[in-house]
Amino acid sequence: MDKEKKKKLLDLFQSKLDRSMRYYLDVCTRCGLCKDACFAYASVPKVEYTPVWRAEVVRKIYKRYFRLSGRFFPFWGDSAEIDDETMKQVNEAAYSCTGCRRCMMYCPFGIDTQAIQSIAKLLLIGNESEPEILSMLADASIEKGKSLDLYKESFIQGIKNLENEVIAKWKGESDQTIPLDVEGANILYVALAGAHSIIPAASILNAAKENWSLSFFEAVNFGAFVGDPRKTQLIAKRIIDEAIRLQVKEVVICECGTAFRVMKHLVGKQPFEVSHIAEVMARYFKEGRIRVEKDRIEGMITYHDPCQSARNGGVIEEPRYVLQQLTSKFIEMTPNREYSLCCGGGGGLVALENEEFREKTGKAKVNQIKETGAAIVATGCENCHTQLGFLNERYNMGVKVEFLSNMVANSLVLES
């Protein structure tokens, strides 16, 4: 690695060193309490899959270049030069961590491994060795924001093709199917690109007689997955600008944990509320705005808490409230809520299609699901849904993986 590259990487490292980051890098006592918290280590007990090992990869660079002892006596202590070999370890650390932050719940010092891994991901971008696919998807999202007029008509056409399916799910009165560009709407619903993320929510919002508008942009934020703060903000800004232009009261994020967390917690205060679709469904039930036929969906149902919307986003009780309306056969996984085990699909891993890693490190989640005896695993995140479906297939679990919104939409009934 040449001097110029090294300097660039160290400047990037420096840019992340605020007070809390220095604390995370300084205080670890290597007690090892974090290791049993990690879904990957729980599935495959390898030292490289412990949060402390991943953090140490970054911490060694920190010790070498940002602490006095490392700068003057680099041969002392556990420090590491930043070079090609170290960057290989940085890659392994960053992309064997989903950023679920379960380890933080068990760390006596509250060390945020995801924050530390955000340094690792930024170094990989600086080294131009980040996963190309994630950067490419982030760039495509930004491009859509910059040149919406080029893609608007195609999107409108694609959405129009879905209208009959929305009508088929909700047969009640409604003067709308999938409204777009509605100024003054109460809700701007931000979906994913797929029909599965649009049709159920549209049926529910119409059933509740909501004044809503569908966003032109997809919720998913590949800038966050790849760990690029600039791209993360640019991708989120497309939605923020749309929400401000339409003067909506609330931005509702579809079942995508990272998209929700970015919009709710990482873009600062905005002139609108931010909610997860599970929170909106729970609200509609409480206000009597939607009704469902309880137990129309047969079989025992369990719920997988998506790390980014539950532990890191605070949406924990609302999905359970929704499930209580749908079924009398709900069973919790153990542990659950903020202590839920990651499924192993987050942090961009599903998009990377790293199937071998995802299969072996998903074993703890598989065992947890099997112990419930449930026939259906409900969840509220696209990444989790994809990963759970993948594990279901690989481990022959014989369950059905379902989105909460789809279950609600399929159980809707007209007013009695």
Partner 1 sequence: MSDEIKAEKTMDLKGLPCPQPVIKVSKGIKEIQVGQVLQAVTTDPGALADFPAWARTSGNEILKTEQGGGLITFWIKRMK
Binding-site member from 17, 150, 168, 414 for partner 1 (CB under 8 A): 150
Q: How many residues bind partner 1 (CB under 8 A)?
A: 36
Of residues 96 and 221, the one with the C-beta less far from partner 1: 221
By CB under 8 A, residue 222 contacts partner 1: yes
As measured in angstroms, the least distance from the Cβ of 153 to partner 1 is 9
By CB under 8 A, residue 56 contacts partner 1: no
Quote the CA–CA distance of 159 and 126 in Å, as a whole number: 38
By CB under 8 A, residue 180 contacts partner 1: no
The residue type at 278:
A
The residue type at 234:
L
By CB under 8 A, residue 196 contacts partner 1: yes
- Which segments of 358-411 are extended strands (E)? 376-379, 400-403
By CB under 8 A, residue 147 contacts partner 1: yes
Of residues 36 and 143, the one with the C-beta less far from partner 1: 143
By CB under 8 A, residue 144 contacts partner 1: yes
Q: Which residues contact 54 (CB under 8 A, 6 or more apart)?
A: 48, 93, 94, 96, 97, 113, 116, 117, 120
Of residues 92 and 139, the one with the C-beta less far from partner 1: 139
Of residues 120 and 166, the one with the C-beta less far from partner 1: 166
By CB under 8 A, residue 308 contacts partner 1: no
Angle at 300 between CA 42 and CA 370, to 5 degrees: 25
Residue/partner pairs of 138-142 with CB below 8 Å, 24 or more apart: 138/221, 138/222, 138/223, 138/225, 138/226, 138/228, 138/231, 138/235, 139/231, 141/217, 141/218, 141/220, 141/221, 141/222, 141/223, 141/235, 141/238, 142/223, 142/231, 142/234, 142/235, 142/238
Binding-site member from 10, 12, 105, 133 for partner 1 (CB under 8 A): 133
- The pair of structure tokens assigned to 46 is 């390898």
- Report which DSSP code applies to 184: T
Binding-site member from 198, 315, 341, 349 for partner 1 (CB under 8 A): 198
Binding-site member from 1, 5, 66, 139 for partner 1 (CB under 8 A): 139
By CB under 8 A, residue 378 contacts partner 1: no
By CB under 8 A, residue 158 contacts partner 1: yes
Window of 7-15, 234-242, 260-268, 378-386 that interacts with partner 1 by CB under 8 A: 378-386
By CB under 8 A, residue 359 contacts partner 1: no
Q: Beta partners for 376?
A: 301, 400
What are the counts of helices (DSSP H) followed by strands (DSSP E) for the chain? Answer: 22, 9
By CB under 8 A, residue 218 contacts partner 1: yes
Of residues 1 and 133, the one with the C-beta less far from partner 1: 133
| HSE-CB for 365 with a 13 A CA cutoff | 32
- The verdict on whether omega for the bond into residue 319 sits within 30 degrees of 0, i.e. cis, is no
Site of tokens 């924990």: 316
Binding-site member from 353, 398, 415, 416 for partner 1 (CB under 8 A): 353
Residues binding partner 1 (CB under 8 A): 133, 136-137, 139-144, 147, 150-152, 154-155, 157-159, 161-162, 192-198, 216, 218, 220, 222, 351, 353, 382, 385-386
